Amino acid sequence: MIYMKGVPEFPQCGFSSLAVRVLKHYNVPLSARNILEDPELKAAVKSYSHWPTFPQIFIQGEFIGGSDIIMNMHQSGELKEKLKDIAANRDKTA
């Protein structure tokens, strides 16, 4: 799940766009919420994760980080590992 600025088809922020691009690279379902549409949501997510900026990426309910961290994990292979299980489960139930 990604809380982002804009929507995956039309990101309204370079960082959000980057995060979407990285996540789309993997074969996992991606849900997105446009926090620009809803200031309450924006404030709520910020205080939930103690994270002041967007985008914010959650994997299976766990807060992972922002676009820097996702990019980092993608480059180090950590992201692949994390998402591997999800992709496997998805294929099983599909």
Nearer to other proteins, 28 or 59 (CB): 59
In the beta sheet, which residues pair with residue 57? 2, 65
Which of 57, 61, 63 is closest to 26 using CA atoms? Answer: 57
Distance CA 45, CA 61 (A): 12
Residues of this chain that interact with other proteins (CB under 8 A) are: 5-6, 10-18, 36, 50-53, 63-66, 68-69, 72-73
Nearer to other proteins, 50 or 92 (CB): 50
- Residue 58 CB, nearest distance to other proteins (Å)? 11
Q: Which residues are annotated as a binding site?
A: 13
